[in-house]
Amino acid sequence: MGFLKALTLAVGLIGFGFFAFVCALVILPLIPFFPGLRFRLNSLFIKPFSLFARAVVGIKLVILNSEKGRIHRPSIMVGNHQTGLDFALISQACPAGLVIVGKKEIQNIPIFGWFFWIAGNLLINRSDKTGAKAKIDEVKKRLGKYQLNLAIFPEGTRSKTSEFLPFKKGAFYLGVSTGYPVVPVVCSRLKGKGIWETFDLSGGHVVISILDPMETEHLSGADLPAFTERVRNLMIDEYARVNKIADEMDLNERHR
């Protein structure tokens, strides 16, 4: 059953990706006249695919403190990373006008990569250290001009356990360098419910919590390690809390 669900998700990913790409092509000629339009394109793909994925897997999504995601724009939104299905869940807690950070190689993926670029997402060349300053200036200008939120997974890769991996400092460096607040977004445990890569797709309640925006304007580079660790510890504590909430919801449902 898990394999069939994973296969269905893959087909859906391709289908919704193609639909979004076609829509993006239609909108593309309008972008020079309405530049901010491209940054709303992500919702053409993420929102429908998320609804589809949750229906296929049987995930019941609960979002706590959704208003906190809209309090401050621009902002850097950071989330924990468990599976390739993360973006379809966590994005539901993020407001419209969300851009995503991805590796530059993504643009070489047919259809999806092209859409990713058209939608104004940020493509990072990790080997280009000299271009870091220019990229930060670009991020600050783009997010400020169009009042966008930037989404990053600070672990850098998916955790294969239920524990948080160490956080890379890139997301927090962006926050400190731009002066934009960091907004932690915590998703409850997906193991046993929605791990796409291992066909572990039994469904259940998933709880996402948005924490208070954490200001960065008063911070400097010297504060970066402590700030990164502070955000990580807050997210770990919240992770334990939302796991309990999700487990209680699953238990109550089984006892009905």
Query: For the chain, what percentages of helix, strand and coil (3-state, to nearest 5) are there?
Result: 55, 15, 30
Instruction: Let me know if 123 is exposed, middle or buried by CB neighbors in 10 A (0-12, 13-18, 19+).
Output: middle
Sheet holding 75-79, edge to edge: 59-64, 204-210, 182-187, 75-79, 149-152, 98-103, 122-124
pLDDT at 39: 87
CA torsion sign for 87, 89, 91, 94 is negative
What domain range is 199 assigned to? 2-254
Of the candidates 101, 229, 248, 149, the residue with the CA atom closest to the CA atom of residue 189: 248
pLDDT at 42: 87
pLDDT at 7: 94
Yes or no: say if 253 and 219 are a contact pair by the CB < 8 Å rule: no
Whole-prediction pTM? 0.91
Where residue 126 falls among pLDDT bands split at 50, 70, 90? Answer: low
Q: Which residue has the higher pLDDT, 102 or 177?
A: 177
Q: How many Å from the N-terminal Cα to the C-terminal Cα in the chain?
A: 25
Which residues lie closer than 8 Å to 190 by C-beta, 6 or more apart?
A: 82, 83, 85, 86, 89, 206
Q: Which residue's structure tokens are 């670009």? A: 138
Which residues lie closer than 8 Å to 111 by C-beta, 6 or more apart?
A: 14, 17, 18, 21
pLDDT at 242: 98
> Which segments within 119-178 are labelled E, that is strand?
122-124, 149-152
- Asked whether the predicted pLDDT for residue 58 surpasses 80, the reply is yes
Residue 60 identity (one-letter amino acid):
K
Domain count, the chain: 1
DSSP letters of 75-90?
A: EEEEE---STTHHHHH
Q: What are the pLDDT digits (tens) for 184-206?
A: 999 999 999 999 999 999 999 99
CATH number for 64 = 3.40.1130
Question: CA-to-CA distance for 213 and 199, rounded, in angstroms?
Answer: 34
Backbone φ and ψ of 189, nearest 5°: -55, 130
Count Cβ atoms below 10 Å from residue 247 Cβ, excluding itself.
Answer: 15
Question: CA-to-CA distance for 48 and 40, rounded, in angstroms?
Answer: 14
Of the candidates 88, 15, 19, 4, the residue with the CA atom closest to the CA atom of residue 54: 88
Helix (H/G/I), strand (E/B), else coil: 167:
coil
